[in-house]
Amino acid sequence: MTFKTIIEPFRVHSVEPLVMTTPEQRREAIGRAGNNLFSLRAEDVLIDFLTDSGTGAMSRDQWAAIQRGDESYAGSPSWFRFLESVQDLFPFEHVIPTHQGRAAEKILFTAIGGEGKIVPNNTHFDTTRANVEYTGARAVDLVIAEGRDPASRHPFKGNMDLDALESLLIEHGREAVPVVFMTITNNSGGGQPVSLENLRGVREVCDRYGIPFFLDACRFAENAWFIREREAGQGDRDVRDIVREVASLADGMTMSAKKDPLGNIGGWLAMNDDGLADECRTLLILTEGFPTYGGLAGRDLEALAQGLRESVQHDYLRYRIRSTAYLGDALTAAGVPVVQPIGGHAVYLDAGALLPHIDPLDYPGQALAIALYEAGGIRGCEIGSVMFGLQPDGSERPAAMELVRLAIPRRTYTQSHIDYVIEVAISVAERADQLRGYRITSEPRPLRHFTATFEQQTG
């Protein structure tokens, strides 16, 4: 007999207290924070769904591995254990450790970006876009049309539009395009997966034009699980084999190890090209550290070596994907609009659909995110015109979608926490017509969403 409840495949080993607050306390806290959820003190948050990045719970075996951390400056055994674990899944020639994903992006785009260059991606994550644009290059998003439609139930909404990719290459020529990127899963587009078939298609286009193909692979294990569940002929495969096949299609990768590799910090840049690797290692030494530790301590390398092994276990991934869907399915059943189908690491509330009375440039996502915090102490993240609206020339344009991401830290919250979130979100949705928009009162750039301040609109 099999049971339908998918339980957490772990039990609790040490606990962290949550601080209970009242709605009044939260209204005061968010006011002090300039209505920016990034500026809250984490202790004023009850359920923290700001990000799944670096916020997961490490396992007993990861904590044990930390004790083995060897802090030798060069050639530490911890480095070799890390390298072996990375190359077991991603057999690239060169692995360059960094303190997190954006450091890998910064190094890579410093080496290959620059004025006049164009970098296509299914959808650039905000730091990836910022690192491309910082070099003077242009970041272009070419996700399939279904990927921009929150209601479409296409099983691989992260796929690249191959015709659009080819048109871009014909129009600008291969010299202008130093790399083609694919983000798996497609975070900014709703945590949606990319199919093996599409990855093979991108490889084929890149081969024809002689352009390197890189993965932004921080949610590679969730992506591989979706391939196993949704793609024809993949259902019996070990996730590790799927991951290796995905890696074999690419020439290199950037990684934020704060996501699927179950680390609290870490990342890497990997590639097969010897010349490019030399250049990147030189840049690494300038800003991150020696090539056998990059920006990490030996103990961090140990935690990641073990985390990577756990990240591809089927029981874990089944629970991970199912528990995210549990939240999304309950909200869908209650009529709260969320991006379909439910992604891997997060549920994306469709603030555009829920708050049609708020203009995109009055930031419906921000309004919804603040309402969730005030009502229940839940911290989500606007992924809409606050994050993407500001253009490099200083003008403002509505984003493709107005979303609020509820990103679920790995192995951290239980089903009763999620039941509470469902209850709060439904109660906010029931009075959606009363929510008002916001205007920005101060903003830096780029990446204004981290520190901008907001004021609620009157009337």
Interacting residues with ligand F0G (CB under 6 A)? 51, 53, 100-102, 125, 127-128, 183, 187, 216, 218, 256, 258, 267, 407
Inter-residue contact 293 to 387 (CB < 8 Å): no
User: Per DSSP, which regions of 32-107 are E strands?
Assistant: 47-48, 94-98
Q: Distance between CA atoms of 342 and 202, rounded to whole angstroms?
A: 24
Q: Helices (DSSP H) in 351-450: which residue ranges?
A: 351-354, 364-376, 385-388, 415-430
Q: What's the closest the beta carbon of residue 408 comes to ligand F0G, in angstroms?
A: 11
Which tokens hold the place of 375? 């009502």
Nearer to ligand F0G among residue 194 and residue 331 (C-beta) = 194
Nearer to ligand F0G among residue 101 and residue 364 (C-beta) = 101
Which tokens hold the place of 193? 């997966």
Q: What's the closest the beta carbon of residue 188 comes to ligand F0G, in angstroms?
A: 7
Instruction: Identify the burial level of 433 via C-beta atoms within 10 angstroms of its C-beta, where 0-12 means exposed, 13-18 middle and 19 or more buried.
Output: exposed
Instruction: Identify the burial level of 188 via C-beta atoms within 10 angstroms of its C-beta, where 0-12 means exposed, 13-18 middle and 19 or more buried.
Output: buried
Q: What's the closest the beta carbon of residue 20 comes to ligand F0G, in angstroms?
A: 25
Nearer to ligand F0G among residue 321 and residue 435 (C-beta) = 321
Q: What's the closest the beta carbon of residue 341 comes to ligand F0G, in angstroms?
A: 19
Q: How do 267-271 and 94-98 pair as beta strands?
A: antiparallel
Q: What's the closest the beta carbon of residue 407 comes to ligand F0G, in angstroms?
A: 6
Q: CA end-to-end span of the chain, whole Å?
A: 58
Nearer to ligand F0G among residue 257 and residue 422 (C-beta) = 257
Tell me the residue nearest to ligand F0G as measured from the CB.
101
Nearer to ligand F0G among residue 407 and residue 440 (C-beta) = 407
Nearer to ligand F0G among residue 104 and residue 432 (C-beta) = 104
Tell me which residue has tokens 């990577």.
Answer: 308
Q: What's the closest the beta carbon of residue 127 comes to ligand F0G, in angstroms?
A: 5
Nearer to ligand F0G among residue 247 and residue 435 (C-beta) = 247
Nearer to ligand F0G among residue 169 and residue 408 (C-beta) = 408
Q: What's the closest the beta carbon of residue 181 comes to ligand F0G, in angstroms?
A: 10
Q: What's the closest the beta carbon of residue 267 comes to ligand F0G, in angstroms?
A: 5
Q: What's the closest the beta carbon of residue 165 comes to ligand F0G, in angstroms?
A: 19
Q: What's the closest the beta carbon of residue 404 comes to ligand F0G, in angstroms?
A: 13
Q: What's the closest the beta carbon of residue 4 comes to ligand F0G, in angstroms?
A: 30
Selection from 240, 151, 246, 152 nearest residue 194 by Cα: 246
Q: What's the closest the beta carbon of residue 335 comes to ligand F0G, in angstroms?
A: 27
Nearer to ligand F0G among residue 402 and residue 435 (C-beta) = 402
Nearer to ligand F0G among residue 7 and residue 286 (C-beta) = 286
Q: Distance between CA atoms of 378 and 297, rounded to whole angstroms?
A: 32
Q: Distance between CA atoms of 439 and 457, rounded to whole angstroms?
A: 7
Which tokens hold the place of 450? 């981290």
Task: State the DSSP H helix or E strand holding residue 405, giving kind and residue range, or none if neither.
Answer: strand 403-407
Q: Helices (DSSP H) in 137-295: which residue ranges?
A: 162-172, 196-209, 220-230, 239-248, 274-287
Q: Helices (DSSP H) in 135-265: which residue ranges?
A: 162-172, 196-209, 220-230, 239-248
Inter-residue contact 143 to 158 (CB < 8 Å): yes
Nearer to ligand F0G among residue 101 and residue 389 (C-beta) = 101
Inter-residue contact 102 to 127 (CB < 8 Å): yes
Nearer to ligand F0G among residue 59 and residue 122 (C-beta) = 122
SS3 114: coil
Cα dist. 342→152, 154, 189, 384 in Å? 11, 11, 11, 18
Q: Distance between CA atoms of 281 and 433, rounded to whole angstroms?
A: 53
